[in-house]
Structure 1
Amino acid sequence: MNLAASLDHPIFKRIGAVADRLNLKTYVVGGYVRDLLLKRPSKDIDFVCVGSGIGLAQEVARTLGPDVHVAIFKNFGTAQVRFENLELEFVGARKESYRSDSRKPIVEDGTLDDDQKRRDFTMNALAISLNHEDFGELIDPFGGQEDMRKKMIRTPLDPAITFSDDPLRMMRAVRFAAQLGYDIEADTFQALSTQAGRLKIVSQERITDELNKIIASPTPSYGFKLLFHSGLLVQFFPELVALHGVEYVGNRAHKDNFFHTLQVLDNVAKESNDLWLRWAAILHDIAKPATKRYDKDHGWTFHGHEDRGARMTPGIFKRLKLPMNEHMLFVQNLVRLHLRPIPLAKEVTDSAVRRLLFDAGDAIDALMTLCRADITSKNLEKVNRFLKNFDLVEQKIAEVEQKDHIRNFQPPVTGDQIMVMFNLPPGRIIGDIKEQIKEAILEGEIRNDKEEAMALLLKIAAEKGLVRTDDAVREQPNP
């Protein structure tokens, strides 16, 4: 099969011409070829030559112009060239062997065949020649095209060896399956199970990078089910696996919170590409195993799982090497608040809406998306009833916010102003006064307005025996 017509960017013939001049057999390989066949755009292009990849990169950069820089990674035998909006990576063909206690290979020079054998999956082992004599010729020794036609993930060699050599490939298998909607070939999937323990030699950062790509896929539950059934998920995320299972007392059972969580995740994914909102979906019920109780009058309960889950969130983020910044705080806040809008669906009061807006801030829209996604009953009438009630809640939120401006609430009277007005040092009394004003606003006793807040401040001050004068202010003892 010849793909010369598809290699329409001039960079390919320019690199082919340099390769001919250096007498190097050179190929574009891997993900770019796969995406070319899938008709997916790609700006990262990998090149393999039988010889020095670094030397080829340096000569290519020289011909592209004086401002084109080569980044050389001698330890890996690779070089990168950025040109226009492309990132070009060059490497010499090589073969690899591994020790059982490390994923760092022993690398030797090799042939194109050696290089293709070391690749993770047949669809990533495709190569296209760039030399003039056979420009555009597709080299597919392992049936990668046929596997793509079947929508199948398969390793070029024995999958047990492929995954044992580089265990991160197991996460990549699931990631590609999730992204592309492919199946994992039976022997390849079996090897995921037998080699799952090897994942412990891979850094958590690299595992989490693949996990985030699975979470960002169109239907992330598919990837999580593959991780779960293969035994990979328990290797790095036991808290999520602990949600699996149904317990009975007599004929009373709770739902399987693992599969419920995956449904919530998919529901969120239909509405938002926000990775951190998807993480909130994953963690919203994470503390249910720790809070599960059975009561003969009420059945199964999970009281306080939202607060316990919020407390668990930082530890999970830290262990998984997720960012301990505003993203973690966003997820933690949604986990803590995810039950709050539910009572509002039955009785919507201005006060409750103000407090929800105060606590959620800019995350209120994300919180409502999560709450809608959390309705996973098989009873469609019940689902539709809840969704209609949430419509009313969101309408009330919009009305209250327009009137009271509670989102990202800033006190209309600051602590510094109180101290200056009444000549007070920093202390508990300042916080008490601010809290009274905030509560009055949230309860609707006064508007979120400086004039009304100032009037209330003077009233509170009088009750506390604080007197303001034009030139001096002193605290008077109560009579």
Structure 2
Amino acid sequence: MLAEAVSHLEPVMPMLRELGERFTSAGHEIALVGGPVRDAFLARTSPDLDFTTSARPEDTERIVDGWADAVWDLGRAFGTIGVRKGDFQVEITTYRADAYDRETRKPVVEFGDSLDEDLVRRDFTVNAMALRLPDLTFVDPYGGLADMAARSLRTPTSPEVSFGDDPLRMMRAARFSSQLSFDIAPEPFAAMTEMAGSIRMISAERVRDELVKLLMSPAPRRGLTALVDSGICEYVLPEVPALALEIDEHHRHKDVYEHSLTVLEQAMDLEGPRDVPGVEEAEVVEGPDLVLRLAALLHDIGKPDTRRFESGGGVSFHHHELVGAKLARKRLRELRFDKDTIKAVCRLVELHLRFHGYGNGEWTDSAVRRYVTDAGPLLSRLHLLTRADSTTRNKRKAARLQATYDDLEARIERLKAEEELAAVRPELNGNEIAEVLGIKPGPVLGKAYQYLLSVRLDEGVIGKEAAADRLRTWWAEQPESQG
């Protein structure tokens, strides 16, 4: 197993040996540690190379001087020196024996004296394995390799101690479960459940970053389920567990929580190239796409607040897309997502039901234009979200919905070809509108522009002369024209 793992490190082996020889010649230990070692055993390529050493930061700088192409010390306070050698950027960190300030949860840096002492402070046993350099001696004091074979996440020390030191490790357990398709062992999962509320001590930015990594993983359902079942999600994204609406004895609605996880998975399956009948080249959303995945997860979060039982035995969720967009905006702001991401996700949540008015293709060209214009640059994601939102087990109904959306995409494609639909504008620009009406730039000009845009959306291309006539007719009915 070691030989096979080492073979996956072959592209970086010359650099590993050189670095190892420089440190041992200077009387220090150095080892490749953490994710790169774990990934080598999993036959994965790790994007990072992390090293731990007995050398203090100033010793590390002296050892790599003349060998490294560049050195930076922004992490010096934590014992970390950054190094660039050729195409590789690496971090070399002095052995640590961290203690944590139990009030701020920030690490109190204390340098350690041994590799084993450094490894025990790491989050999970599968990340607490190392390869000593330059001889590639495998070091695994806490059973990481056995846990890897069992596809299990355990902590090197007591999970209560580990999660008490840094509660974010509970979210990291969920994230690694999604990234690696590992199970969280019973002991750490019990600690997560018992200590769920301590996640409130972690900054919104750190929580957000872990959530993003989880959602961008190959199997986010695993991690999301762990967060919900442990109770952690109640503190970081409470709208998701709230989707597990109690099903009444008549089963008048689906489990919205399970539906949302399925929509997320189906949206992921649609990322990348796809074929649509009648469309020469369907729009592509390259995966993993954070905006699409967030929108898929959150698209129905307005349902709990809008659920109404009808007299005939049915259940309704009127305007849940509008309520959901507001809830999503509030939550994503609290998690410190950037404005563009928030705007895009909330717009998709708001629009995700629009297609259901299409029926069997009854929309006019005007309605199709408005669909495209309202979606704007999010149209390709809206295509995927809307398709993914069909989770019916009725194969005939599912096929009918797919065919109907195929028809809509084909219509959009035809209109785009005819009218440059993606960039719909009034047939008169602002200067031309001002000239026709004899007005100056200002709110009235903006109002006239919006009127001509609505004409363009409703009627398509009618020509500049006809547009000017329509504009004059409209203007004669406006109070401002009387001034």
Query: Is contact 1:406–1:448 with CA below 8 Å preserved after alignment?
Result: no
In 2, the alpha carbon distance for the partners of 1:170 and 1:53 equals: 30
In 1, the alpha carbon distance for the partners of 2:48 and 2:475 equals: 68
Shift of 1:141: 1.0
Shift of 1:298: 6.5
In 1, the alpha carbon distance for the partners of 2:2 and 2:445 equals: 78
Shift of 1:431: 4.3
The letter for the 2-side match of 1:217 is S
- Cα deviation per residue 1:303-351 (whole Å; 9 max; x = unaligned)? 11112222333222210111112x2222122111111112214233222
Return the match for 1:121 from 121, 124, 127: 124
* CA shift in 2, pair 1:298/1:84, >3 Å: farther
Q: Which residue of 1 aligns with 2:250?
A: 251
Q: Which residue of 1 aligns with 2:269?
A: 270
* CA shift in 2, pair 1:422/1:270, >3 Å: same
Query: Is contact 1:122–1:147 with CA below 8 Å preserved after alignment?
Result: yes
Return the match for 2:20 from 16, 32, 35: 16
Q: Which residue of 2 aligns with 1:205?
A: 205
2:143 matches 1:143 = yes
Query: Is contact 2:80–2:91 with CA below 8 Å preserved after alignment?
Result: yes
In 1, the alpha carbon distance for the partners of 2:9 and 2:472 equals: 78
The letter for the 1-side match of 2:171 is M
Secondary structure of 2:195 counterpart: helix
Structure ID, larger Rg: 1
* CA shift in 2, pair 1:463/1:213, >3 Å: closer
Q: Which residue of 1 aligns with 2:67?
A: 63
* CA shift in 2, pair 1:463/1:69, >3 Å: closer
Query: Is contact 1:57–1:90 with CA below 8 Å preserved after alignment?
Result: no
Superposed CA RMSD:
2.3
Return the match for 1:352 from 361, 364, 367: 367
In 2, the alpha carbon distance for the partners of 1:476 and 1:113 equals: 83
Secondary structure of 2:337 counterpart: coil
Secondary structure of 1:69 counterpart: strand
Secondary structure of 2:50 counterpart: strand
Return the match for 1:87 from 82, 86, 89: 89
The letter for the 2-side match of 1:106 is V
Shift of 1:453: 3.8
Query: Is contact 1:80–1:90 with CA below 8 Å preserved after alignment?
Result: yes
Query: Is contact 1:353–1:397 with CA below 8 Å preserved after alignment?
Result: yes
Secondary structure of 1:255 counterpart: coil
The letter for the 1-side match of 2:54 is V
Q: Which residue of 2 aligns with 1:469?
A: none
- Cα deviation per residue 1:240-278 (whole Å; 9 max; x = unaligned)? 222112242x62522221111111111111122211111
* CA shift in 2, pair 1:283/1:7, >3 Å: closer
Query: Is contact 2:100–2:107 with CA below 8 Å preserved after alignment?
Result: yes
Shift of 1:125: 0.6
Shift of 1:476: 8.4
Q: Percent identity?
A: 34
Secondary structure of 1:193 counterpart: helix
The letter for the 1-side match of 2:374 is D
5 Å matches for 1:227-306? 227-248=227-248, 251-272=250-271, 273=287, 274-297=289-312, 299-306=314-321
In 1, the alpha carbon distance for the partners of 2:334 and 2:65 equals: 41
In 2, the alpha carbon distance for the partners of 1:70 and 1:335 equals: 43
Structure 2: any 5+ residue segments left out of the alignment?
A: 272-286
Query: Is contact 1:24–1:49 with CA below 8 Å preserved after alignment?
Result: yes
Q: Which residue of 2 aligns with 1:472?
A: none
Shift of 1:24: 0.6
Query: Is contact 1:98–1:165 with CA below 8 Å preserved after alignment?
Result: yes
In 1, the alpha carbon distance for the partners of 2:371 and 2:322 equals: 15
In 2, the alpha carbon distance for the partners of 1:183 and 1:419 equals: 66
Query: Is contact 1:433–1:457 with CA below 8 Å preserved after alignment?
Result: no
Query: Is contact 1:246–1:255 with CA below 8 Å preserved after alignment?
Result: no
Shift of 1:462: 4.9
Query: Is contact 2:427–2:464 with CA below 8 Å preserved after alignment?
Result: yes
* CA shift in 2, pair 1:209/1:429, >3 Å: closer
In 1, the alpha carbon distance for the partners of 2:482 and 2:103 equals: 75
Query: Is contact 1:285–1:309 with CA below 8 Å preserved after alignment?
Result: yes
Query: Is contact 1:54–1:78 with CA below 8 Å preserved after alignment?
Result: no
In 2, the alpha carbon distance for the partners of 1:170 and 1:464 equals: 63
In 2, the alpha carbon distance for the partners of 1:319 and 1:476 equals: 46
* CA shift in 2, pair 1:221/1:21, >3 Å: same
In 2, the alpha carbon distance for the partners of 1:20 and 1:206 equals: 36
In 2, the alpha carbon distance for the partners of 1:152 and 1:36 equals: 17
In 1, the alpha carbon distance for the partners of 2:253 and 2:8 equals: 55
- Cα deviation per residue 1:167-210 (whole Å; 9 max; x = unaligned)? 11111111111011111111121111112112112111111111
Shift of 1:53: 4.1
Most deviating of 115-124 and 395-404 = 395-404
* CA shift in 2, pair 1:461/1:42, >3 Å: same
Secondary structure of 2:98 counterpart: strand
The letter for the 2-side match of 1:79 is I
* CA shift in 2, pair 1:98/1:365, >3 Å: closer
In 1, the alpha carbon distance for the partners of 2:352 and 2:194 equals: 38
- Cα deviation per residue 1:397-424 (whole Å; 9 max; x = unaligned)? 2122222323232222123321123321
Shift of 1:434: 3.1
Most deviating of 171-180 and 84-93 = 84-93
Shift of 1:112: 1.0
The letter for the 2-side match of 1:448 is V
5 Å matches for 1:368-383? 368-383=383-398
5 Å matches for 1:189-204? 189-204=189-204
TM-score if structure 2 supplies the norm length? Answer: 0.89
Structure 1: any 5+ residue segments left out of the alignment?
A: 467-474
Query: Is contact 1:362–1:408 with CA below 8 Å preserved after alignment?
Result: no
Query: Is contact 1:28–1:46 with CA below 8 Å preserved after alignment?
Result: yes
* CA shift in 2, pair 1:30/1:465, >3 Å: closer
TM-score if structure 1 supplies the norm length? Answer: 0.90
Tell me the matched-pair count: 459
In 1, the alpha carbon distance for the partners of 2:231 and 2:264 equals: 20
Return the match for 1:45 from 40, 46, 49: 49
Shift of 1:433: 3.6
The letter for the 1-side match of 2:386 is C
